[in-house]
């Protein structure tokens, strides 16, 4: 779902960017209308690019790894936090585990 949303935002942003360029070249909208379209389109593209790396590593994104390890083998560098949430895809309660050295987060079923 997030990939589809990312693609839709990128396409709309590209259309805004192209519309802004065309508007500036042709001079269709009075004032700074074309410039606003350029700014909005560029902001959308920047948001799509940074959102992808903000919440997941690129390796996890490519492999489809949602950040939940398989099995119950806990890596020694991860420590449990008090943060818990319900996974919207599985309706299972998960606990956040954190590696204090790197800030990497893992999500494991809360026992």
The pLDDT of residue 13: 93
Angle at 90 between CA 9 and CA 62, to 5 degrees: 50
pTM to 2 decimal places: 0.48
**Collapsed DSSP state (helix, strand, coil) of residue 81:** strand
Q: 42-84, pLDDT tens digit by residue?
A: 999 998 887 755 555 555 555 555 554 544 445 788 899 999 9
The pLDDT of residue 62: 58
Token match 């949602």: residue?
66
User: What proportion of the chain, given as a percentage, has pLDDT over 70?
Assistant: 73
Is residue 21 scored above 70 in pLDDT?
Answer: yes
3-state helix, strand, coil in the chain (%, to 5): 50, 15, 35
Higher per-residue confidence, 3 vs 18: 18
Mean pLDDT of 30-44: 84
Token match 């590209």: residue?
14
Is residue 79 within 8 Å of 100, Cβ to Cβ?
yes
Nearest-angstrom CA–CA distance, 38 and 34? 6
Nearest-angstrom CA–CA distance, 78 and 100? 7
């Amino acid at each position: 779902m997030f990939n589809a949303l990312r693609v839709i935002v990128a396409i709309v942003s590209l259309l805004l960017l192209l519309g802004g360029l065309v508007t500036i070249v042709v001079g269709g909208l009075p004032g700074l209308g074309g410039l606003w379209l350029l700014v909005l389109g560029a902001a959308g593209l920047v948001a799509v690019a940074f959102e992808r790396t903000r919440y997941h590593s690129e390796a996890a994104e490519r492999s489809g790894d949602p950040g939940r390890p398989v099995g119950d083998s806990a890596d020694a560098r991860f420590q449990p936090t008090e943060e818990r949430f319900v996974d919207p895809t599985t309706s299972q309660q998960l606990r956040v585990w954190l590696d204090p050295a790197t800030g990497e987060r893992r999500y494991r079923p809360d026992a």
